[in-house]
A and B are shown apart, each in its own frame.
Chain A
């Protein structure tokens, strides 16, 4: 397999955007192309991740994006895997460069949903569940994660304040991210006092519905070296699956797909969780981050809540989690999120993250899943000196 590198990255602001979905995707794409110092003619393929394009009257997005970049002859495809679409698409793009099919390609994640309003967005997202058993019985996505939260809290004696610490920490990080959706400092009491969405989760336990796009340029090592631009290396890639429905899981306090994907990625990279300097993880709801950091091996099961309270996951903690602000503060344009995580890692490991830089970081992890973790991907990246 060829070594695969990330040569450039770009993102729009995450939030409520007025541009249409193609314009959003193009903005991030052009930023990534410029960041990599390449021309569209260098791009051998376009990989797009998106879930609800139909809500903005556009499916089959890849040819539209390629045409607008002036490279209509370049093949593209669009990949959907619910909230994990970006990382799943990244994996496919990675595999195609690793296999030698392309020297250089564009990977773009994009989403636009805020124009649909909260009720319709809630409904659209419920279609990402195992609908016959979940959405069809009245479960929204906050509801599914709320049921996971209640299970975890019962099993490990965690409480709603434990959840709130995740939100407070990620909002603190997001204050340093100029592209974050929710740039607002919050307190534990703000979270506890916010309206209940699906008990025990409250509004400030939930990530926002966001519009946005992120893009990265992937290439082989030879291409990266010739560019004379900063780049990072992909050193591990893993994917896993879980029972699609919450009821189908033996232990509702863990997400099997994360565990599987992480083991694959660590094994491929030849490292352990202790070697990771920081991670961008899938914190769609506060409970998700607590479960993620355990499933990724950073903390034993049932111990993360206490560690998070004590600051282990803060920017200056033992294992900083979501220095970008995460889905919770940076935002969650679901087709873009997995690529946005890679863009953050690229910025961090190439010295372009400004005041949110994690000092001396050399190895970083991204983790992104679809639905309640029915599918997940984990990637590991190394700074190139």
Chain B
């Protein structure tokens, strides 16, 4: 094992996202769940974790639809940036959901699913 096992975790997160899942870390000490790029547990500061894959399906907590997107996203006609909570565990994740034009298309509580990781647009979502 590497002396710095946390290095490269974002690459692992991306590879798991491409399988439509979310890679999280479960603290071996207090069982808190956090996103994989967290190195020390925010609750107990332990640094030993189990890597766990969860299904990338959850409910929308909040979102926005950009009219003025940052560079790199101006090739998309319309998209939402979405914060959602996974169904399997109380873990929030955020991602890019193309094709949403109006807030009425995405009521709070709507179901979304991770469908991949796009080199240009990040964690790619689909509305269920």
B122 and A138 contacting across the interface, CB-CB below 8 Å = yes
Contacts of B74 in A (CB 8 A): 119
What residue of chain A has the Cβ atom nearest to residue B71's Cβ? A123
Asked if A120 lies at the interface with its beta carbon under 8 angstroms from chain B, I say yes
Cross-chain contact of B66 among A118, A143, A200 (Cβ < 8 A): A143
Least CB distance from A54 to B in Å reads: 16
Residue interface bits A274-311, CB-to-B below 8 A is 1, else 0:
00000000000000000000000000000000000000
A248 to B62, Cβ gap below 8 A?
Answer: no
Closest to A199 in B: B65
Q: What is the CA–CA distance of A139 and B93 in the complex, to the nearest angstrom?
A: 13
Given contacts A138-B121, A140-B68, contact A147 B81 (CB under 8 A): yes
B15 at the binding interface (Cβ < 8 Å): no
Give bound CA distance, A249 to B63, whole Å. 15
Asked if A230 is an interface residue, CB under 8 A from chain B, the answer is: no
With the chains together, A123 CA to B68 CA distance in Å?
10
Interface set of A (CB-CB < 8 Å, partner B): 118-120, 122-123, 126, 132-140, 142-144, 146-148, 150-151, 154, 195-201, 243, 245-249, 252
Q: How far is the CB of A328 from chain B (nearest CB, A)?
A: 17
- Chain A's nearest CB lies how many Å from the CB of B40? 13
On chain A, the residues within 8 Å of B76 by CB distance are: 138
Residue in contact with A252 in the complex, picked from B35, B71, B73, B83, CB distance below 8 Å: B83
| Tally of A-B Cβ pairs under 8 angstroms | 110
Name B's A-contacting residues (CB within 8 A). Answer: 10, 35, 37, 42, 61-74, 76, 79, 81, 83, 92-96, 103, 108, 121-123
Question: Are A198 and B10 neighbours in the complex by a CB distance under 8 Å?
Answer: no
Give the distance in Å from the alpha carbon of A150 to the alpha carbon of B92 in the complex: 16
The reply to whether B121 and A198 contact each other, CB–CB distance below 8 Å, is: no
Q: Are A140 and B69 in contact (CB under 8 A)?
A: yes
Q: Are B68 and A154 in contact, CB atoms less than 8 angstroms apart?
A: no
A126-B70, A247-B93 known; A150-B63 Cβ under 8 A: yes
Our pick among A138, A154, A248, A249 for the contact of B81 (Cβ within 8 Å) is A138
